[in-house]
């Protein structure tokens, strides 16, 4: 059902999603709890937010995936500087399994707040030239974060369909919802695009591409659907 490519389908889509959150936004100093709120159950609708997800997966694993997929996806990865993530891994802050990651965890694994080591690493990354300095406030509202992070995931899903990595949009939606918890009530990335209209999603992606770079540029399959009267994927 899925071609043998780096990341297959679900993890291939999750790579740019994590690049936008655990790497790029982290290096910019975006509030960790805000990212989780924007993407979590009460926000976009993922079962957990991206910061919690990074801690659950393990920051060491997240860093390895960043490096591995970076070599396969080109400018669709590597938008952020993984320095803060690397610094935490070096300190043994590997996530929930180590009792500390981006958050701190008690003896029973209960989250106890933001890890001060994470705050310090983020501050250093933000101050560096690679970190990128200040962030425009309107780019990191809950709504803006949810949109840009979901678009990074969705773009990769669209490219998987365009490149024949998955057989159909329906397969992609099933994989995204059941594999990684893409907001079930949105039906998956392809259904989400259909509900908004391909033309709107093209415009949204292009707006972010103009602001932040080619990692958001709309793929040809989406442009074609927009030109064909907002042709649906499902």
- For 168-207, the pLDDT digits (tens) are 999 999 999 999 999 999 999 999 999 999 999 999 999 9
Residue 166's DSSP bridge partners are 2
Are 86 and 23 found together in one domain? yes
Q: Which domain holds residue 150?
A: 138-227
Query: How many C-beta atoms lie closer than 10 Å to residue 186's C-beta?
Result: 18
Terminal C-alpha separation, the chain = 17
Position 115 confidence tier, pLDDT thresholds 50, 70, 90: very high
- Residues 101 and 92: their CA atoms lie apart, in Å, by 8
Please check whether residue 107 lies inside any domain of the structure: yes
Among candidate residues 136, 158, 176, the one where a domain is terminated: 136
Is 219 a residue whose pLDDT tops 90?
A: yes
Please check whether residue 4 lies inside any domain of the structure: no
- Residues 48 and 24: their CA atoms lie apart, in Å, by 19
Could you tell me where the DSSP H helices lie in the chain?
10-18, 26-28, 32-39, 50-57, 59-73, 83-90, 116-127, 142-162, 169-180, 189-196, 198-212, 220-227
* Domain count within the chain: 2
Please check whether residue 123 lies inside any domain of the structure: yes
- Mean pLDDT lowest among 7-11, 125-129, 183-187, 199-203: 125-129
Are 82 and 107 found together in one domain? yes
- Mean pLDDT lowest among 79-83, 110-114, 170-174: 79-83
Closest to 215 measured CA to CA, from 11, 70, 111: 70
Please check whether residue 66 lies inside any domain of the structure: yes
Query: How many C-beta atoms lie closer than 10 Å to residue 82's C-beta?
Result: 23
Length of the chain in terms of residues written: 234
Q: Three-class SS of residue 206?
A: helix
Are 39 and 72 found together in one domain? yes
Burial class (CB in 10 A: 0-12, 13-18, 19+), 220: exposed
Are 70 and 160 found together in one domain? no
Q: What is the pLDDT of residue 135?
A: 60
Are 105 and 211 found together in one domain? no
Is 132 a residue whose pLDDT tops 50?
A: no
- Residues 104 and 35: their CA atoms lie apart, in Å, by 17
């Amino acid at each position: 059902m899925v071609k043998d490519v780096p990341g297959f389908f679900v993890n291939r889509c999750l790579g740019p999603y994590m690049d936008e959150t655990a790497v790029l936004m982290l290096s910019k100093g975006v509030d960790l709890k805000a990212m989780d709120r924007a993407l979590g159950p009460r926000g976009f609708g993922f079962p957990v937010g991206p910061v919690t997800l990074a801690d659950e997966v393990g920051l060491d694993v997240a860093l390895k995936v960043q490096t591995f997929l970076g070599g396969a996806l080109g400018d669709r990865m590597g938008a952020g500087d993984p320095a803060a993530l690397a610094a935490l891994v070096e300190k043994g802050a590997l996530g929930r399994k180590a009792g500390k990651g981006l958050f701190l965890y008690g003896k029973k694994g209960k989250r106890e707040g933001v890890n001060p080591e994470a705050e310090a690493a983020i501050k250093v990354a933000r101050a560096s030239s690679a970190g990128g300095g200040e962030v425009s406030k309107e780019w990191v509202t809950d709504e803006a974060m949810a949109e840009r992070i979901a678009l990074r995931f969705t773009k990769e899903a669209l490219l998987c369909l365009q490149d024949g990595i998955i057989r159909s949009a329906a397969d992609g939606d099933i994989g995204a919802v059941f594999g990684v918890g893409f907001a079930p009530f949105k039906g998956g990335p392809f259904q989400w695009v259909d509900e908004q209209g391909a033309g709107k999603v093209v415009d949204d992606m292009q707006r972010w591409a103009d602001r932040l770079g080619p990692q958001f540029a709309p793929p040809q399959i989406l442009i074609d659907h927009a030109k064909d009267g907002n042709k649906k994927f499902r």
